Amino acid sequence: MLDVSLLFKIGATGILIIIIDKVLKSGGKEDIAVVANLAGIILILMMVINLISKLFTSVKTLFQF
Amino acid sequence: MCGGHTMIKIIGCLVILGASTMAGFIYSERLKYRVFQLNEVHRAIYQLQNEITYVHALLPDAFKSVAQKSKEPIRELFNKTSELLSDNEYENVYEAMNSAMNLTKSRLYLNSDDMNVILDLSKTLGESDIEGQNSIFTLTIANLKKQIKISEEFMHKNMKMYRYLGFSFGATLVIVLI
């Protein structure tokens, strides 16, 4: 069963990244805002990478005869 | 989850959040100090001009009396310059001022542009007649006014941003760690 707290975590991180992006853009630092967005994407990817690898292994076992 | 464990977690999260918020606030204070110090330098340069054009003081004495009328980090800068000049260790005013600036660097919140404005003045100090020095003073004061305007705009724009950013980064860190 999927852990629901992970979804909340991703949601909260997303909200905070949006806030950081807005604050940086209003301060006229667009280039740093892009970097912050990328960092957020990587952060969330690192959270779900275990699940993705699990998905791939289960798909692999499906096709193994 | 058992009681003691979550308590420590909550306290740790609060500490991280508080520390990062504080870092944001401290960083935003630096912008305020820069404006304050630039204003202080502005006033000190006017006084230096008076010392040179009306009192005809020698440069070490002029620097010393300006230092006595200034507030702390700027006072130290001018005092050091005066000392280095009267020690006769340096060939010209520029080198003395430059090394005095390096000595007080940790307490000056000025950036390199601001320092260059002051150092440009010291390049011509004591190497021209009063009229020539006066024109350099006028130029320096105009440049300083420009820097003050820039730093004030920068302060108004970025002070809130640094505070919000400090809090947001702390909150992100807490969420990642939970």
Verify whether the Cβ–Cβ distance B158 to A26 is below 8 Å.
no
Q: Name the percent of chain A lying above pLDDT 70.
A: 95
ipTM over 0.85: no
Helices B72-86 and B3-50 pack at an angle, to 10 degrees, of 50
Domain that holds residue A43: 4-63
Q: Which SS3 state, helix, strand or coil, does residue A62 take? A: helix
Whether the CB-CB separation of B76 and B99 falls below 8 Å is answered with no
Task: Count how many domains chain A has.
Answer: 1
- H helices of chain B, where? 3-50, 59-68, 72-86, 93-103, 112-124, 130-177
State the pLDDT at residue B95. Answer: 85
Ranking A1-5, A15-19, B94-98, B154-158 by mean pLDDT, the lowest is: A1-5
pTM of the full structure:
0.74
Question: Nearest-CA distance from B168 to chain A in Å?
Answer: 6
CB contact under 8 A, A20 and B176: no
Contact state of A23 with B164 under an 8 Å Cβ cutoff = yes
Q: Is A45 strand, coil or helix?
A: helix
Contacts of B159 in chain A (CB under 8 A): none
For residue B157, give Cα distances in angstroms to A25, B23, B135, B152, B169: 11, 18, 33, 9, 19
Q: Mean pLDDT, consecutive 10-residue segments, chain B of 178 residues?
A: 76 93 91 89 88 82 85 85 83 84 84 85 79 87 91 87 89 87
Pick the range with the lowest mean pLDDT from A10-24, A50-64, B43-57: B43-57
- Nearest chain B residue (CA) to A24: B161
Hey, where are the domains in chain B? Answer: 3-177
pLDDT for A6 beyond 90: no
* Residue A34 reports pLDDT greater than 90: yes
